[in-house]
């Protein structure tokens, strides 16, 4: 098969007539030759098609695997569905792995195109997967997120590991950034930049009932109405859809409710019917709808939705898919929606241009982020043009926005690797996996990072690495010999993981978290503990931050909890004047929150008591489950038998949100917290009770389908 045939197959699968200028540039720059490439181009310019051509070349011509790295699970799922539909008919096996970080997923060896998040790829490399030598291409989608303090360091380490060992081709897909050539220099890649966008994008500033755009264009709005209402009304009159970016969850919800009546006027009878059905689905995602569920369901009936991380994954998916299908007309969203998902918005309104920073107060959002939001406007499958509008509050701000954003350049991206907490995890991983068995090889590895490429002088990094090695040695996760980097000889600078250190690396938790868990579990083995003590132990970890905030009204309850559970807490409260006191009290409140969940409080009660939305609840429960699993694995390794029992029990209670008395029932398939409580309250408290009860009687309690399923399991 030739490269021309590869191009033809990709174009046919994508239903496009030919290569656009961005794709043509990439091909001419050597996409089908064995070389790395960084492609910097605007959102919606067709970069993904370039990655698809490179992937098919690698799989069909070179007979090697492709790893496609994305920043978000939702984006991974979107790419998986798209690539599976397009390329499985060609015999290409498409796989996805975004979950459990303590699995090597050996089944992935059977797949050609593997979609992962950077964290999952990092985890797979830590587990020593057998198929790394088969990887011929690594696609790093949204590679500019190297600049992100949260995700950037992991992506940087993963790419460095590939460059350090098997050396597959690397294709970085980036938004337009100022230092794309510096990024390409690090990867020894061909830099390719284009400003082409298949859908013409007008970006403008709205002030005093007028919108001025670049390229030159102007809109005059009705001064008797608010500008956002006028812009939404104009969007709907044109039978188009729109996104409104708003800085906070609360304000996004409020804006959606306020605009509901306006949007509703533009609905057809079919729209009203479809939205009514969608509203019902949104409302009943949870067994007991929260006030937030009711608010969202109410907005949906009017044709508008809000979208933020406080929604459950299922609610977010319903909103996104309904927007793609044209059922939902307008979404008021926090900026998280700007990260890559393909949504057909003709007009994007960026209402809030400032964001709170704990270090600098309210400050303007970076240019690159505004470009990402604006890039959601005008999508190739739906529009010939798109509009992105920034809302100014004063004449002086309008001028500032025009100069800073409309005519401005996106910022450079910088490595965020040189931070001690980040280095702790990755240094342990590199030592535990055998990638860097000596101090010399560790420094050599870090000399290949983007951090080293940018900053050149490694003296500060050497100092931090030496500090991290000393810490890992002190907490017994590694064994090392020799002196600092500049003095150590090749013979005296060995770095070896201990048995516990290797397991900590595989568990994908911060080494200081692991040390905290081990220390607390050893104390618990001596003194004894209970579920609250275990929940407090995991609440005092970096993975659980941010901890829940404290209100004055909380203190009485917190003091009662301290009195009631004091014998079971592995760490006693510091003095109120100590610097650790505030975080300790917040960790007690976080444990209280988990405790209420295990006492069978519903999502609605959790939202009322703690202000924790269903989406945030799911994230916190997922983090807690992983920390409890990690605690279990470490306790098993350390033979802490008494503590193991309490951890196992607590993990099940947190997972299902149940009291201890329901543990025997929730292990049954099809029985969750609600059905388990129904069975228990009906006197069916043990598996033997379920064996003995006649099927007809069980059907009356729990319904025919579930009753039969239960009976099959307890025979």
Residue with the bigger pLDDT between 356 and 125: it is 125
Q: How confident is the model at residue 379 (pLDDT cuts 50, 70, 90)?
A: confident
Q: How confident is the model at residue 43 (pLDDT cuts 50, 70, 90)?
A: confident
Cα 522 to Cα 500: distance, rounded to the nearest angstrom: 14
pLDDT at 122 (0 to 100): 96
Q: What is the mean pLDDT of residues 449-471?
A: 93
Q: What is the mean pLDDT of residues 3-8?
A: 93
The architecture (CATH level 2) of 200-406 comes to 3-Layer(aba) Sandwich (3.40)
CATH number of 3-193: 3.40.50.300
pLDDT at 488 (0 to 100): 47
pLDDT at 32 (0 to 100): 95
Task: Say yes or no: do domains 200-406 and 420-505 share a fold.
Answer: no
Q: Check pLDDT > 50 for residue 438.
A: yes
Give percent of the chain above pLDDT 70. Answer: 97
Burial tier of 710 (Cβ tally within 10 Å: 0-12, 13-18, 19+): buried
**What is the per-residue pLDDT across 528-584, written as a single tens digit (0 to 9) for each?**
999 999 999 999 999 999 999 999 999 999 999 999 999 999 998 999 999 999 999
Q: Check pLDDT > 70 for residue 302.
A: yes
Q: Check pLDDT > 70 for residue 487.
A: no
- Domain extents for the chain? 3-193, 200-406, 420-505, 511-657, 666-714
Q: Which of 110, 47, 53, 121 is nearest to 86 (CA)?
A: 53
Cα 585 to Cα 548: distance, rounded to the nearest angstrom: 9
Q: What is the DSSP string of 258-325?
A: HHHHHHHTT--HHHHHHHHHHHHHHHTSSSS--HHHHHHHHHHHTTEEEE-TTS-HHHHHHHHHHHHT
Q: How confident is the model at residue 344 (pLDDT cuts 50, 70, 90)?
A: confident
Single pTM value for the model: 0.93
Q: Which CATH number fits domain 666-714: 1.10.150.20, 3.90.550.10, 3.30.420.40, 3.90.1300.10?
A: 1.10.150.20
Residue 660 has a CB neighbour count (10 Å cut-off) of 13
Q: How confident is the model at residue 358 (pLDDT cuts 50, 70, 90)?
A: low
pLDDT at 383 (0 to 100): 87
Q: How confident is the model at residue 339 (pLDDT cuts 50, 70, 90)?
A: low
pLDDT at 176 (0 to 100): 83
pLDDT at 489 (0 to 100): 46
Map 365-377 to HEC letters. CCHHHHHHHHCCE
Q: Within 13 Å and on the Cβ side, how many CA atoms surround 263? A: 29
Q: What is the mean pLDDT of residues 491-500?
A: 86
Q: Which CATH number fits domain 420-505: 1.10.10.10, 1.10.287.130, 3.90.1150.10, 3.30.450.40?
A: 1.10.10.10
Q: What is the mean pLDDT of residues 258-265?
A: 97
Cα 75 to Cα 424: distance, rounded to the nearest angstrom: 28
On whether the CB atoms of residues 177 and 413 are closer than 8 A, the answer is yes
- Fold classification of 511-657 (topology level): Sec63 N-terminal domain-like fold (1.10.3380)
pLDDT at 491 (0 to 100): 44
pLDDT at 359 (0 to 100): 57
On whether the CB atoms of residues 252 and 307 are closer than 8 A, the answer is yes
Helix, strand, or coil (residue 245): strand
Cα 550 to Cα 544: distance, rounded to the nearest angstrom: 16
Residue 215 has a CB neighbour count (10 Å cut-off) of 9
**What is the per-residue pLDDT across 86-135, written as a single tens digit (0 to 9) for each?**
999 999 999 999 988 888 899 999 999 999 999 999 999 999 999 999 99
């Amino acid at each position: 098969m030739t490269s021309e045939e590869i191009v033809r197959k990709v174009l046919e699968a994508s239903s496009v007539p030919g290569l656009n200028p961005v794709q043509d540039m990439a091909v001419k720059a050597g996409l089908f030759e064995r070389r790395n490439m960084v492609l910097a181009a605007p959102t919606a310019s067709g970069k993904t098609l370039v990655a698809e051509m490179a992937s098919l070349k690698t799989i069909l011509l070179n007979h090697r695997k492709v790893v496609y790295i994305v920043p978000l699970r939702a984006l991974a799922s979107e790419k998986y569905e798209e690539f599976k539909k397009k390329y499985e008919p060609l015999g290409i096996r498409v796989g996805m792995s975004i979950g459990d970080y303590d699995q090597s997923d050996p089944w992935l060896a059977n797949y050609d195109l593997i979609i992962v998040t950077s964290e999952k790829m990092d985890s797979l490399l830590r587990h020593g997967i057998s198929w790394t030598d088969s990887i011929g291409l690594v696609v790093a989608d949204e590679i500019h997120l190297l600049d992100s303090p949260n995700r950037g360091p992991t992506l940087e380490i993963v790419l460095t590991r590939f460059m350090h060992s098997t050396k597959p081709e690397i294709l970085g897909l980036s938004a337009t950034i100022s230092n794309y050539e510096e990024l390409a220099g690090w990867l020894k890649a061909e830099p390719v930049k284009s400003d082409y966008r298949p859908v013409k994008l007008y970006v403008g500033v709205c002030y005093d009932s007028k919108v001025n755009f670049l390229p030159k264009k102007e809109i005059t709005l009705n001064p008797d109405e608010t500008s956002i209402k006028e812009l939404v009304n104009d969007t709907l009159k044109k039978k188009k859809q729109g996104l409104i970016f708003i800085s906070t969850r609360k304000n996004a919800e409020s804006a959606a409710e306020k605009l509901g009546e306006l949007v509703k006027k533009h609905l057809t009878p079919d729209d009203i019917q479809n939205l009514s059905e969608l509203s019902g689905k949104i409302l009943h995602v949870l067994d007991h709808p929260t006030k937030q569920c009711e608010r969202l369901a109410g907005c949906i009936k009017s044709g508008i939705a809000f979208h933020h991380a406080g929604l459950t994954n299922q609610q977010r998916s319903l909103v996104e898919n309904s927007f793609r299908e044209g059922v939902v007309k307008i979404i008021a969203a926090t900026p998280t929606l700007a990260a890559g998902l393909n949504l057909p918005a003709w007009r994007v309104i960026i209402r809030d241009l400032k964001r709170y920073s704990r270090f600098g107060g309210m400050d303007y959002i970076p240019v690159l982020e505004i470009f990402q939001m604006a890039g959601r406007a005008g999508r190739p499958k739906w529009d010939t043009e798109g509009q992105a509008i920034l809302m100014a509050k004063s004449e002086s701000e309008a001028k500032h926005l025009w100069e800073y954003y409309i005519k401005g350049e996106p910022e450079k991206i910088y490595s965020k690797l040189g931070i001690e907490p980040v280095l702790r995890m990755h240094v342990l991983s590199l030592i535990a996996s055998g990638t860097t068995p000596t101090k010399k090889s560790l420094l050599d590895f870090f000399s290949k990072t983007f951090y080293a490429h940018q900053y050149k002088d490694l003296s500060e990094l050497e100092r931090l690495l030496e500090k991290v090695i000393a810490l890992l040695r002190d907490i017994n996760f590694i064994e090392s010999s020799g002196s600092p980097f500049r003095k150590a000889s090749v013979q005296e600078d060995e770095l070896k993981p201990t048995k516990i250190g290797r397991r900590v690396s595989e568990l994908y938790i911060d080494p200081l978290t692991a040390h905290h868990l081990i220390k607390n579990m050893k104390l618990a083995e001596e003194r004894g503990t209970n579920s609250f003590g275990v929940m407090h132990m995991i609440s005092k970890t970096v993975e659980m931050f941010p901890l829940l905030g404290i209100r004055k009204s909380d203190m009485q309850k917190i003091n009662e909890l301290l009195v009631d559970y004091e014998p079971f807490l592995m760490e006693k409260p510091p003095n109120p004047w100590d610097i650790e006191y505030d975080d300790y009290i917040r960790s007690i409140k976080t444990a209280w929150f988990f405790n209420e969940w295990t006492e069978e409080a519903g999502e609605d009660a959790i939202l009322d008591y703690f202000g924790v939305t269903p989406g945030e609840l799911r994230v916190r429960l997922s983090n807690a489950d992983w920390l409890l699993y990690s605690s279990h694995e470490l306790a098993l390794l350390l033979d802490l038998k008494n503590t193991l029992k309490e951890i196992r029990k607590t993990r099940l209670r947190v997972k299902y949100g149940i009291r201890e008395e329901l543990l025997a029932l929730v292990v049954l398939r099809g029985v969750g917290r609600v059905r388990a409580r129904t069975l228990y309250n009906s006197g069916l408290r043990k598996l033997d009770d379920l064996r003995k009860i006649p099927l007809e009687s069980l059907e009356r309690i729990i319904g025919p389908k579930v009753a039969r399923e239960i009976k099959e399991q307890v025979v």
